[in-house]
Chain A
Amino acid sequence: MKVLLSWLRDFAPDIDGDSEQLAEVLADLGLAVEELSHVGRGLDGIVIAEVLATRPHPDADRIHLVDVDAGDGEALQVCCGAFNMAVGDLVPLATVGTTMPNGIEIARRKMRGEWSNGMLCSGAEIGMGDDHEGILILEQGLSLGVPLAEALGIQPDVLFDLEVNPNRPDAMSVMGVARDLAARLGVPFSVAVPAVDETGTPAAERASVSIASPDFCQRFGVRVLDNVPSGASPRWMANRLLAVGQRPINAVVDLSNYVMFELGQPNHTYDLDLVPGGELGVRMAHRGEELITLDGTARALTTYDGVIVNRDDQAIGLAGVMGGASTEISADTRSVLLEAAWWDPMTIARTARRLGLRSEASARFERGADPDIIPIALDRFAELAAALGSTTAPGMIDATGNRPEPIPVRVRSPRVNSILGTDLSTDQMIALLEPIGFACDSGEDGQDFNVNIPSWRLDSATEIDVIEEVGRLHGFSKIARTVPVTEQAGALTPQQQDRRRVRELLTGMGISEAMPLPFLAPGDLARAGLGDDGITVTNPLVAEESIMRTSLRPGLLKAVAYNAARRTTGVSLFEIGRVNPGGGGDLPDEGEHLAVILAGQEATAATTLWRRLARHLTVARPGVVNGPVDGLHPGRSGQVLADGQPVGALGEIDPQVLDAYEIDERVAWLEVDLGALLEADRGLAPYRAPSRYPSSDVDLAFTVSDEVSADEVYATIAEAGGELLASVALFDVFRSDQLGEGQRSLAFTLRFEAPDRTLNDAEVAQARQSCIDAVSNTHNASLRG
């Protein structure tokens, strides 16, 4: 929403001060200034010029040569990148030596070998509208060589581009912004009553309005205007419209826009001759009803759209969104029906969104226009039109629908202070509210008071809404800052702490944390050997982001492939992230996984990693069970167990999957359900004091079939060693022809000790033999010499 300082002063002449400071005040009122610019500044040196001829540039396609007459009758050559001018057009020329509003200095220079003696300007370049593309074509009749500002009557002004929040329908008009600003600055604000001279046949005899959808249309006002101007609007109006980004079209359209920007009331004109009997009606559209809108498009309507109909119940306008083509005014139009109405915001929002027809008008209706501004807006239009020769029929048609009775809001002063943290008296609160039209009457006890919400604040209806206004007008920056004190000790949950410990362990092991996108393309999971696709996104922008992942594997494989393609192999990465394996109740199941990918490493690297992780997290009975896992190397994969329960898988990525990702090194993989892992039985074994007596070490090497896992042998030894076995560790593995096919040697070192004595040779020998017997019997293994 763009507003000019001069326009604001039409409502509050005493608004004054430094424009930067005014911008700060506006921001503090919740009207953030996205851009502050100075209209009419930097126009020195820009003059009116006429296009004499245009020629192609001999050496460039994107620019051409334009000869202009800047008042001296001479042809001046200018290089120009826009092609929208014709011979005879009047254009703004920035002469050599001009400093443009953006600070650029115009010099005589060669462009690809051709001299350019100045620059032709677009509207945007000189603060007249938003058009960056074409050169601004000026109206005919201006004197050549005259400074642009003088020729167009441009006064220095300040333009504020405001960000208006959805809860500020009032701020969608110059009047509303002026009201807020005047209230904060403590200067008078008033809306002038438009002066309308009425003449001819009363409007009521020439037009009528009937409302069949009274909830949709709370109010519908009509005036009848004759002798409407057919030419351009006055220069001052066109300048203001240009400044706020609205291209002037013709007097009637410009008047309509001007009134909308000024008062926030969108309005529409019908050619009275094209509306039989001047009869207008309002109803909801029928299913399948069609209407050709002003832009010539046929619109299929629904029962959720509101329409304006004529005497024959034919739709002639899409209420609040766009007028119909059949009653459009033209150069021949002499008399118009001027409509200003109030439409239900939700209905307008829905229609505008469905048809993709959001406009300045629909934006205002969506927020909630002011039903009470309707007669003023009609009169303001009539007043401005009268200055252009139009006449106004006596009277105004003022049809009403169901307008809810305004309910005063009871406001508790202590509550206001309690929410805001202020210490305002009731009188102070009222003094803040009254200038923005929130009429207050003091309650009986002088503490509570009733507030009548103004008609322009549809958003405001409850006590908290009023409290917000008190805070806003008082100024958030003036509220004393305090920090609430809690008795609660801040802390991470044990699970959150564990997550950090996992990250620390992994980074300590040289593994970096990756962050792949959680979205997948169709087929990504299958490509990673993971079977069916996961939950789909209903409205993805691109197919690559249409599937939710069931595993972290596709993302990390992609990351390894990305690095490999950039000549970095041997990359180790991990990720902790959410996955959606499918299933679930009201919401799909969602788990948190940890995955580690070790490029250039064999499967056992994943086992080592898993054991360190399990030990770090004091997981009870961490295990690995060899066996095939989807997408992993069938002979180099296994389940991961915590306390006997499967919590994930590890191994090496299946070579076929690696091929699909164009990775040509071995890749070790571990993925665990971190939630399940952290919930598994965990904790340290009961404390045992270190023995003060010497221990005895025994090394045992067994020939064991490949069918038996080292872990199983380990478990057998651990069990058979009993109380005296302090530790056991696998320290050597080898295969040889001597051992034979399918056999290998597993060498373990065992340490025996007792807490209360030095073990004698017999005791150690007995324990040793128990272990040998157990392994031999359980696994059909033999002790090696």
Chain B
Amino acid sequence: MAEPEQLVVEAERQAAAATTLDELSAVRTAMTGKRSPLVAARKALGDMEPDARKQAGQALNEAKAAIDEILSAREAELAAAARAEKLAAERLDLTEVVEQPASGHLHVITQTWQELEDVFVGMGYRVAEGPEIESEWYNFGALNFPLGHPARDMYDTLYVDYGEPGTTLLRTHTSPVQARVMENQEPPIYVVAPGRCFRQDTADATHMPVFHQIEGLVVDRHTTLGDLAGTIEAFTAAYFGPGFSSRLRPSYFPFTEPSAEFDIQRPDGTWLELGGCGMVHPNVFEACGIDPEQWQGFAFGFGIDRLALIRFGIDDLRELWTNDIRFLGQF
């Protein structure tokens, strides 16, 4: 019968010889299994004298512990090696990717439109909408353009064949939404109305028969021209960023008085003529059922398309409408 020390040496030799977990498992069976010399030696203890048994038993226990430790250590070694091998085998080139469909892009008009909405929502405004095919009344009449008024000629209006001739048109501005909001909502009113507008125009780099505007309307007890100028300035800072400022220049629109154009000054000192604005004309208030002695208001409006061109560095309005994926996919 082998001495326990020899068993430990043998286990050490066999464990070291095992190169896989399976081989090691066989070693474990051979060295510590039911038919192992160790188990046989333990069975043999029963025939020994108590003193000798005690001594031999202790030696066997120590040998068993030593063998277990050897096997565990070797198992850990082999497991680590196996893991490392597997990981090495699983190596991937992470740039080796078959092209997936790209994500889609919002149209530049929508991006600009939403950004403008967000600025005004942040300033406490709601967003109103109105029809694109509009009545002569809301587009002109309610806005203090009497029938036959030369100011109507300032708008190259497209009419549609609906109802009496000349009564139904493609709205030339978003201002009809002002009138609709005032008819349907009690002041105070703080709204913006982005929307699509139309005019009889030949498409070129700076004109399209279809374009987009955003309109603002505030009606409150003590709204002033100073409020209008301050609102334009606050919008300018919020949308264009620091270093941009605004100015108002007297102008003329039938539906506001006083009326103004507003310009944005860029940090380099140059000006961008942006839009029109003014104090809501008393005749407009009356046409919409609001008492101009009780309420005051201002309105402003400007083009979205040109802002989109400037923002994205596009130099031709027609590009917005081609729907060339090489255009759409850039923004």
Contacts and interface: CB of A to CB of B under 8 A. Distances in A.
Interface of A: 27-30, 32, 165-168, 345-346, 349-350, 353, 366, 418-422, 462, 464-465, 467-468, 471-472, 476-477, 479-486, 488-493, 496, 500, 503, 506-519, 535-542, 545, 548, 558-559, 562-563, 566, 568, 571-574, 578, 580, 584, 586-588, 590
A182 B277 CA distance: 27
Interface string B209-226: 110000000101011111
A490 B123 contact: yes
Contacts of B75: none
B252 A165 contact: yes
Given A503-B110, A536-B160, A559-B323, A488 B226 contact: no
A462 B286 CA distance: 15
A587 B130 CA distance: 12
Contacts of B121: 490-492
Contact of A486 (B106, B170, B190): B190
A664 to B, nearest CB: 17
Contacts of A485: 124
B1 interface: no
A507 B132 CA distance: 26
B249 A519 contact: no
Nearest to A420: B225
Given A568-B326, A587-B131, A30 B104 contact: no
Given A464-B282, A492-B121, A515-B109, A510 B249 contact: no
Interface stretch (B52-60, B90-98, B148-156): B148-156
Interface string B154-195: 100011111101001010000000000000000010100000
Interface string B241-260: 00000011111100001111
B161 A538 contact: yes
Contacts of B160: 535-538, 548, 588
A349 B104 contact: no
B186 to A, nearest CB: 12
Interface string B18-37: 00000000000000000000
Contacts of B220: 484, 486
A366 B200 contact: no
Contacts of B103: 507-510
B323 A537 contact: no
Nearest to A558: B323
Contacts of B261: 32
Interface in B284-331: 296, 320-326, 328-329
List 6 tightest A-B contacts by C-beta distance, closest first: A421-B226, A30-B250, A421-B224, A481-B230, A165-B252, A507-B104
A167 B252 contact: yes
Given A476-B249, A490-B121, A491-B121, A515 B323 contact: yes
28 contacts: A27-B249, A28-B249, A32-B261, A346-B150, A350-B148, A421-B226, A421-B227, A464-B257, A464-B279, A464-B282, A468-B250, A468-B257, A468-B259, A476-B258, A477-B247, A482-B224, A488-B190, A490-B120, A493-B126, A493-B127, A496-B117, A507-B103, A512-B325, A513-B110, A517-B209, A538-B158, A538-B165, A562-B323
Given A563-B324, A590-B131, A464 B104 contact: no
Name the residue in B103, B107, B188 with the highest tally of chain A Cβ atoms < 10 Å from its Cβ: B107
Interface of B: 101-107, 109-110, 114, 117, 120-127, 131-135, 148, 150-151, 153-154, 158-163, 165, 168, 170, 188, 190, 196, 200-202, 209-210, 218, 220, 222-227, 229-231, 233-234, 247-252, 257-261, 279, 281-282, 296, 320-326, 328-329
A508 B220 CA distance: 41
A589 to B, nearest CB: 9
A665 B300 CA distance: 47
Interface of B is mostly: mixed
Name the residue in A32, A506, A587 with the highest tally of chain B Cβ atoms < 10 Å from its Cβ: A587
Given A166-B151, A479-B229, A568-B326, A510 B104 contact: yes
Given A483-B231, A535-B162, A492 B117 contact: yes
B298 to A, nearest CB: 9
Contacts of B153: 353
Contacts of A484: 190, 218, 220, 223, 227, 230-231
Given A419-B279, A578-B196, 8 more contacts: A486-B220, A503-B106, A507-B104, A535-B162, A537-B160, A538-B158, A539-B159, A590-B131
Contacts of B202: 541-542
A201 B259 CA distance: 52
A562 B327 CA distance: 12
Nearest to B231: A483
Contact of B229 (A165, A481, A489, A536): A481
Given A539-B158, A541-B209, A587-B134, A421 B104 contact: no
B328 A471 contact: no
Contact of B161 (A168, A418, A535): A535
Contacts of B225: 419-421, 471, 476, 479
Contacts of A508: 103-104
Contacts of B124: 485-486, 488-490
Contacts of B168: 587-588
Given A513-B106, A586-B135, A472 B258 contact: yes
Given A30-B250, A488-B126, A519-B209, A418 B323 contact: no
Contact of A420 (B101, B226, B230, B247): B226
A9 to B, nearest CB: 23
A165 to B, nearest CB: 4
B325 A568 contact: yes
Given A515-B321, A541-B201, A346 B148 contact: yes
A542 B209 CA distance: 11
Nearest to A517: B321
A529 to B, nearest CB: 20
A482 B125 contact: no
A578 B195 CA distance: 11
B218 A514 contact: no
Contact of B325 (A477, A538, A571): A571
B193 to A, nearest CB: 12
Nearest to A582: B162
Contacts of B229: 476, 479, 481
Contacts of A467: 257-258
B53 to A, nearest CB: 53
A562 B324 contact: yes
Nearest to A500: B114
A128 to B, nearest CB: 29
A420 B224 CA distance: 5
Nearest to A419: B279
Nearest to A483: B230
A168 B252 contact: yes
Nearest to A349: B150
Name the residue in B161, B250, B261, B281 with the highest tally of chain A Cβ atoms < 10 Å from its Cβ: B250
A507 B328 CA distance: 12
Contacts of A513: 104-107, 110, 328
B210 to A, nearest CB: 6
A580 B133 contact: yes
Contacts of A483: 123, 227, 230-231, 233-234
Nearest to A513: B107
B105 A507 contact: yes
Contacts of B135: 586-587
B163 A586 contact: yes
Contact of A516 (B102, B196, B323): B323
A482 B133 contact: no
Contacts of A545: 209
B170 to A, nearest CB: 7
Given A515-B323, A545-B209, A580-B133, A468 B101 contact: no
A514 B222 CA distance: 43
A136 to B, nearest CB: 31
Nearest to B248: A476
A490 B328 contact: no
